[in-house]
Amino acid sequence: MTEFLSALGHQPFLQTALLAGLLASIGTGVVGSLVVVKRITFLAGGIAHSVLGGIGAALYFGLDPLLGALAAAVLSALLIGWVRLAWQAQEDTLIGALWAIGMAVGVLFVAKTPGYAGDLMTYLFGNILLVPQRELWLMGALDALLLIVIGLYYRQLLAVCFDEELARLRGVNVTFYYLLLLVLVAVTVVLLIQVVGLILVIALLTLPAAIAGHYVKSVGRMMAVATAIGALLTSLGLALSYEPDLPVGPTIILLAGFVYLASAIASRLIARRRTRATLHPDPADGESP
């Protein structure tokens, strides 16, 4: 850990990586909270995985793979949203199919792109240490976009997450805001792919918000706390992986998974103790060691 801190002082690539992690945390906290309360983790997983199709196509045609990822993510968000709204009966089958088809398209394109086969792992599992500095600007711009859209339409997005029928009866265009939410998820997925790759995205998107959910009482606070937890987890993961030279993405995800588990158990115990305290107030409570 101390070695990481001293290296951080004079290694620009570490500073860039740390900054990339912090920028990704904003998307994680803000959009991840909506994903968790709306319970659309499976949809988000579908969007994340089918992004490989866009990355593969961009590589094959010699375009920026990140732009390909963004285009594919938005396209797949709209497709998945349409499936959910129009084909509810077969929703999970169709989303599972889109999930796999997107990946298959990506693998085929990458296989036919000369010299790129080795880089597939980078997109699947990410490498925060390879984020080029100019990409921080793109990440910052995507964060700004997320914050502006959510700031403007928070009421409607929250209502669509909370109670679609009520939102519809109050004249909110539920279809529009639902698709908007999925597009926000798509943008966040692209942000996070930089850090952990598209296979692990779903964990980084949902775990910080789920941890925050154990303790907060409003979605707004959930967003703030989840952002802070995301920032802590990515920074700590980066630091822990530095000395033993571990891949950063999986380290961050394992750390997040561990913290989530510990928090779930702790919050369950706290809730049980609270119920017991209200049911049987124990006069000797203060005396126990």
Query: What residue ranges bind other proteins (CB under 8 A)?
Result: 37, 39, 152-156, 158-159, 162-172, 213, 216-219, 221-222
Shortest Cβ 167–other proteins spacing (Å): 7
Beta-carbon count within 10 A of 21 CB: 27
Tell me whether residue 61 or residue 162 sits nearer to other proteins (CB atom): 162
Closer CB to other proteins, residue 99 or residue 260?
Answer: 260
Residues in the chain: 289
Comparing CB distances to other proteins, the nearer of 39 and 112 is 39
What minimum distance in Å lies between the beta carbon of 155 and other proteins?
6
Question: Exposed, middle or buried by CB within 10 Å (0-12, 13-18, 19+), for 239?
Answer: buried
Q: How far is CA 77 from CA 42, 43, 183, 189, in A?
A: 12, 8, 6, 11
Q: In angstroms, give the least distance from the CB of 125 to other proteins.
A: 32
The nearer residue to other proteins, 161 or 239, going by C-beta atoms, is: 161
Least Å from the CB of residue 44 to other proteins: 18
Q: Is 144 left (phi over 0), alpha (psi -120 to 50) or beta?
A: alpha
Give per-residue burial for 92-107: e unless 16+ CB within 10 Å, then b.
Answer: eebbeebbeebbebbb
Output 108 or 216, the one with its CB closest to other proteins.
Answer: 216
Give least dist CB 278 to other proteins, A: 11
